C-alpha cells in the first residue's frame, strides 16, 4: 500500500509539474521583458508599485498614486516591466553594486551583514520592488516565476555570488520553497515602508543547476543576457540618444521569452 501511495503521489506531482510548464509555455508566447527606458514606462511601474503596496498595507495612499525612492536614480540598477499582451503585469528592480557604484537598497538596512561580503569582493544582485498586478496574477499563477527569471539571468550574466531579496515574514516561505532562499537577517524597519523586511539570500553558484533543472525556462542564451544587461557604465537605463557603437553596446529594450529555446539549452 505504501508503495502504491508513493507512486500515486509521484504521478500527481509529475502531472502538476507538467501542467505548470504547459501554462508557462503558453504564457511565454505573450510575455515581453521591457526595460523602463522612458518616463512613460517608469511612471507605469511606479503606479503599479503604489497599487501593490497600498493593497497589502506596506504604504499609505499618496496623492500622486506613485511610489519611487532614491534608488531609482542611481547608476547601477535595471528596472524591468514584464508585459502580457502589452499590459504591464509585474516589475522588479535589480541593483548590481560595484566599486564605482557601491550603493544599493539592502545595504542601507543590512550593512552589518552585507558590507563584509562586498569587502570580500562578492558579486551581489539586489532584487527589490518585486510587484505584480493583482488581477493578472490571479489569472497567471506562473507570473512570479517568469518575473524572478530576470534575477537568474542577471546572476548568470554578472557571475553573481548572491541574489538578495528583502521580504516580509509572511512571504519568506515562498522564497525558501520556490528558489532555495535562506534567511540571513530577521525583519528590520525598511525606509519608506510601514512593514519590516527580512534579508534573504540564495548562493547562485550552488543553486544554479538545481534551479535550472526545476525551472528549465530559467535557462537563457548568452545573446539574451547581453541584450538585457550590457550597458554603458553609469547609464544602465538606456536612452534613445545612445546609438549603438563602440562605446555603447547593442541592446534591446524589449525581449520576448522564448520557452522552447530555453528548454533546448543545456
| pLDDT per residue as tens digits for the range 90-134 | 999 999 998 888 899 999 999 999 999 999 999 999 999 999 999
Burial 30-42 (b: 16+ CB within 10 A, else e): ebbbbbbbeeebb
> Side by side, which strands form the sheet with 162-167?
182-188, 197-203, 162-167, 124-132, 87-95, 77-84, 31-35, 254-256
Architecture in CATH of 2-264: 3-Layer(aba) Sandwich (3.40)
- Is the pLDDT score of 250 beyond 80? no
Residue with cell 547562485: 204
Compute the distance between CA of residue 253 and CA of residue 257 in angstroms, rounded to an integer.
Answer: 13
- Is the pLDDT score of 13 beyond 80? no
- Is the pLDDT score of 8 beyond 50? no
Could you read off the pLDDT of 161-219 as tens digits, one per residue? Answer: 999 999 999 999 999 999 999 999 999 999 999 999 999 999 999 999 999 999 999 99
The residues spanned by each domain of the chain are 2-264
Could you read off the pLDDT of 57-67 as tens digits, one per residue? Answer: 999 999 999 99
**Cell numbers at 208, concatenated:** 544554479
Instruction: Check: pTM over 0.75? Answer yes or no.
Output: yes
pLDDT of residue 14: 38
Q: What percent of the chain has pLDDT over 90?
A: 70
pLDDT of residue 10: 38
Q: Which residue has the higher pLDDT, 240 or 65?
A: 65
* 3-state SS assignment for residue 261: helix
End-to-end CA distance of the chain: 38
Mean predicted confidence (pLDDT) in 19-37: 89
The closest of 141, 25, 46, 148 to 88, measured between CA atoms, is: 46
pLDDT of residue 37: 86
Amino acid at each position: 500500500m505504501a508503495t502504491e501511495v508513493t507512486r500515486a503521489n509521484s504521478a500527481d506531482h509529475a502531472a502538476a509539474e507538467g501542467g505548470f510548464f504547459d501554462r508557462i509555455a503558453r504564457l511565454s508566447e505573450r510575455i515581453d521583458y521591457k526595460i523602463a527606458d522612458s518616463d512613460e514606462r517608469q511612471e507605469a511601474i511606479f503606479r503599479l508599485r503604489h497599487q501593490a503596496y497600498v493593497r497589502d498595507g506596506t504604504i499609505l495612499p499618496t496623492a500622486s498614486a506613485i511610489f519611487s525612492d532614491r534608488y531609482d536614480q542611481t547608476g547601477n540598477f535595471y528596472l524591468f516591466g514584464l508585459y502580457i499582451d502589452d499590459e504591464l503585469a509585474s516589475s522588479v528592480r535589480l541593483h548590481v553594486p560595484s566599486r564605482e557604484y557601491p550603493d544599493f537598497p539592502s545595504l542601507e538596512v543590512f550593512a552589518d551583514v552585507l558590507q563584509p561580503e562586498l569587502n570580500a569582493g562578492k558579486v551581489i544582485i539586489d532584487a527589490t520592488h518585486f510587484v505584480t498586478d493583482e488581477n493578472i496574477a490571479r489569472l497567471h499563477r506562473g507570473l512570479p516565476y517568469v518575473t524572478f527569471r530576470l534575477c537568474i539571468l542577471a546572476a548568470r550574466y554578472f557571475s553573481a555570488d548572491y541574489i538578495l531579496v528583502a521580504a516580509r515574514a509572511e512571504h519568506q516561505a515562498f522564497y525558501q520553497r520556490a528558489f532555495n532562499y535562506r534567511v540571513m537577517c530577521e525583519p528590520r524597519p525598511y525606509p519608506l515602508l510601514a512593514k519590516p523586511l527580512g534579508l534573504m539570500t540564495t548562493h547562485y553558484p550552488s543553486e544554479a543547476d538545481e534551479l535550472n533543472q526545476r525551472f528549465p525556462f530559467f535557462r537563457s542564451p548568452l545573446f539574451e543576457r547581453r541584450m538585457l544587461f550590457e550597458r554603458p557604465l553609469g547609464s544602465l537605463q538606456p536612452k534613445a540618444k545612445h546609438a549603438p557603437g563602440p562605446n555603447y553596446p547593442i541592446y534591446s529594450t524589449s525581449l520576448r521569452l522564448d520557452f522552447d529555446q530555453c528548454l533546448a539549452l543545456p
